[in-house]
């Protein structure tokens, strides 16, 4: 009982001072011109109080710890930031950990939550974002293409890719669809291999879904001369190749290993190799020794495909960096802040992931 009762009077006094400060702040805001007041409320602020050792103030003398509290700008009580990720399944996603880390890092009151939305129900879910007070959301399997018909406007990159990974609720309530996967993929690759040459040789992309669309578009924009698109259902690969045009060429599944001959880059965009899924049925015997193997999966950190490539002495890259980097433009759109991808953030998320087979 001693600790709680000893500090009770100080806490009550501090709370009273804080209440009076808020009341004064609100009074001053009412005197501001309407536009100025609205602008002040639109921007998130830092938390109210932080403790700094060594600075003693009159009200802290009752504290035996010697830590003094310094008043900082207060997060507006009417502004609780909300965002999330829609998918099915979605509970495996590390997006909530990523975005909640950034919220804490920037001292913002808010939450980023997983939203389990069944296939075919993404329309009502997206339309509920505004009334629920969400700034926006990310989209993952299987909603990236279906959501295109729901949003009010598409950014040009998303329109060309044919899939969206991010939705922003604009001030008028309308929904803007964007694709940040292409940005995340390229940033992840260049972070690992700063001097990577996209025109060094053919690229082979496994899959023909939303992830494949983003990767193929990104590679073409970066100057890839030939992109060999391989999918179990040839018609889907061919349809994507027809839509994108040169340099994309569809390859039949039975020819998947021949497609590796002379390739400089192999990218898996399927779910094969993810935790709980079968491994990608692909031998790397025909991939050149200089080949680079990337997987957009990050659960586990090393898929069977990446393990096989590593044991052959090939350079490899998992999809965690793609997840981290694609979140940056989303934050810019939702909150007007461009957060950083740091080694500490990467290590924090890696610590929660399975390493994969050894």
Which is the catalytic residue, given 43, 144, 225, 348?
Answer: 144
Look-up: residue for tokens 């001097």?
195
Question: Helix and strand tally (H, E) in the chain?
Answer: 12, 14
Within the chain, residue ranges assigned H as helices are: 2-6, 8-31, 34-42, 95-105, 122-127, 156-161, 181-192, 210-221, 234-244, 304-311, 320-335, 343-350
Between 2-6, 208-212, 217-221, 280-284, the lowest mean confidence (pLDDT) is in: 2-6
Percent of the chain past pLDDT 70, that is, above it, reads 78
> Is residue 243 within 8 Å of residue 183, measured between CB atoms?
no
> Is residue 209 within 8 Å of residue 232, measured between CB atoms?
no
Domain residue spans of the chain: 2-71, 81-179, 186-322
The rounded distance, in Å, linking the Cα atoms of 79 and 101 is 18
Catalytic residue list contains 348: no
Contacts for 214 with CB less than 8 Å, ≥ 6 apart = 161, 163, 165, 179, 181, 182, 185
Q: Which pLDDT score, from 0 to 100, does residue 358 have?
A: 67
**Mean pLDDT of all residues in 62-80:** 44
CATH ID of 81-179, from 3.50.50.60, 3.40.50.10860, 1.10.3720.10, 3.40.190.10: 3.40.50.10860
Structure tokens at 229: 């698109």
Phi/psi for 63 (5° steps) reads -90, 125
Q: Which pLDDT score, from 0 to 100, does residue 278 have?
A: 95
CATH code of 186-322, in short, is: 3.40.50.720
Residues 327-344 have pLDDT tens digits of 999 999 999 999 999 999
Per the prediction, the chain carries an average pLDDT of: 84
Contacts for 314 with CB less than 8 Å, ≥ 6 apart = 284, 287, 289, 291, 292, 293
Contacts for 109 with CB less than 8 Å, ≥ 6 apart = 44, 47, 75, 79, 80, 81, 103
Instruction: Tell whether pTM > 0.75.
Output: yes
Higher pLDDT pick, 58 / 152: 152
Higher pLDDT pick, 52 / 183: 183
Distances (CA, A) of 59 to 64, 71, 303: 12, 12, 57
Structure tokens at 81: 């930031």
Same topology for domains 81-179 and 186-322, yes or no?
Answer: yes
The rounded distance, in Å, linking the Cα atoms of 285 and 311 is 12
């Amino acid at each position: 009982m001693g600790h709680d009762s000893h500090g009770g009077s100080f806490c009550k006094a501090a709370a009273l001072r804080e209440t009076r400060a808020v009341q004064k702040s609100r009074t001053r805001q009412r005197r501001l011109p309407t536009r100025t007041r609205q602008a002040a409320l639109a921007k998130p602020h830092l938390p109210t109080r932080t403790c700094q050792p060594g600075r003693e103030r009159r009200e802290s003398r009752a504290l035996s710890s010697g830590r003094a509290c310094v008043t900082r700008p207060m997060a507006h009580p009417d502004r609780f930031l909300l965002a999330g990720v829609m998918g099915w399944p979605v509970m495996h996603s590390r997006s909530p950990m990523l975005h909640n880390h950034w919220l804490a890092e920037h001292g913002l009151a808010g939450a980023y939550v997983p939203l389990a939305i069944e296939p075919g129900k993404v329309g009502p879910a997206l339309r509920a974002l505004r009334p629920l007070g969400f700034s926006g959301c990310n989209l993952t399997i299987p909603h990236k293409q279906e959501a295109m018909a729901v949003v009010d406007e598409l950014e040009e990159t998303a329109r060309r890719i044919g899939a969206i990974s991010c939705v922003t609720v604009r001030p008028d309530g309308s929904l803007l669809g964007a694709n940040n996967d292409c940005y995340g993929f390229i940033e992840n690759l260049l972070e690992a291999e700063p001097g990577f040459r996209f025109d060094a040789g053919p690229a082979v992309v496994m899959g023909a879904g939303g992830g494949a669309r983003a990767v193929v578009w990104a590679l073409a924009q970066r100057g890839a001369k030939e992109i060999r698109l391989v999918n179990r259902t040839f018609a889907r690969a061919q349809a994507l190749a027809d839509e994108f045009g040169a340099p994309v060429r569809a390859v039949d599944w039975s020819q998947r290993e021949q497609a590796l001959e002379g390739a400089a880059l192999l990218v898996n965009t399927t779910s094969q190799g993810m935790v709980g899924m079968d491994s990608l049925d692909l031998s790397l015997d025909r991939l050149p020794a200089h080949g680079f193997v990337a997987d957009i999966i990050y659960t586990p950190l090393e898929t069977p495909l990446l393990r096989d490539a590593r044991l052959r002495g090939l350079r490899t890259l998992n999809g965690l960096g793609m997840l981290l980097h694609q979140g940056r433009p989303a934050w810019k759109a939702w909150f007007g802040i461009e957060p950083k991808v740091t080694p500490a953030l990467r290590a924090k998320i890696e610590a929660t992931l399975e390493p994969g087979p050894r």
